[in-house]
Every structure is written in C-alpha cells, then in structure tokens.
Homo-oligomer: A and B are copies of this chain.
Amino acid sequence: MEKPALEKVNLAEKFDQINDYWNPRIAGELNGQQVKLAKFQGPFEWHHHEHEDEFFLVVKGQFEMHLRDKVVTLQPGEFLIVPRGVEHRPVANEEAEVLMFEPASTVNTGNLENSERTRKNLERL
C-alpha cells in the first residue's frame, strides 16, 4: 500500500476538483481504510455491503439516507454509520459533499457489483 503523504488535505479544495456525482475519490489512506470524497446528487441505488461498515459525514449540502424502515436526513457536521448488511439508498435532493471512511476494499454499489454506477479503481485527489 502506498504510504500516505504527510501533507494536510483541505476538503473544500478537494471538492472543487470534483465535477461529477456518485464517483468517490480517494483523499487518504490509513490502516487499510480509505478516506473518500464524493458529490451526491439525485437518488442512488439500493444496495448493501456484505462485510463492510460505512461512515458518511456531510461537509456541505445535505442528503437523505433511506433505510428500509426510516429515512435519516444528514446536514453538514452530521455523520451516520451504516453497518454491514444493512440496505441503504442515499438520495440527495440538492448537491451534497460527503466524506466517507471505509475499507479500501469497499465498492460504492456494494452487492450490485456491475451496476452502471459501480466505480472501481478510484482516482486519487
């Protein structure tokens, strides 16, 4: 694994470099986990991750995390951890900037391995 550089990361500068949606970029790596940044807009797919818990922190904007039994609306400065196995669907009614922590192995669409939205080989910012 690549050794992380000892440079700070400014989230706003990194998000300025992202001009598409649902396409996570790697902004840092530690302990086999990655810090990913993505812009969300519109509805994503229902999916789950068999073996990975996911952390979502809203940096700007807001989005709804739809779960089978409720909807959690996340505002800036709020995070949600979705445990492995739990079906979820992020829906952003406006553009949202989101920081995620998850294992390096996590694919954005989880069990939908070859969705149109699936992104592997993520770009580093």
Q: Which residues on A are within 8 Å of B, measured CB to CB?
A: 3-4, 6-12, 28-31, 33, 35, 52-55, 59, 67, 72, 74-75, 77-83, 86, 101-103
Docked-complex contact A12 and B55, CB < 8 angstroms = no
A55 vs B95: C-alpha distance in the bound complex, in angstroms? 26
Cβ contacts under 8 Å, A77 to chain B: 10-12, 59
The smallest beta-carbon distance between A16 and chain B, in angstroms, is 12
How many copies of this protein are present in the complex?
Answer: 2
- C-alpha gap A80/B52 in the complex (Å): 24
Other 11 A-B pairs with CB < 8 A, given A4-B83, A8-B72: A6-B67, A6-B72, A6-B82, A7-B80, A8-B74, A8-B79, A8-B80, A12-B77, A31-B52, A31-B53, A33-B101
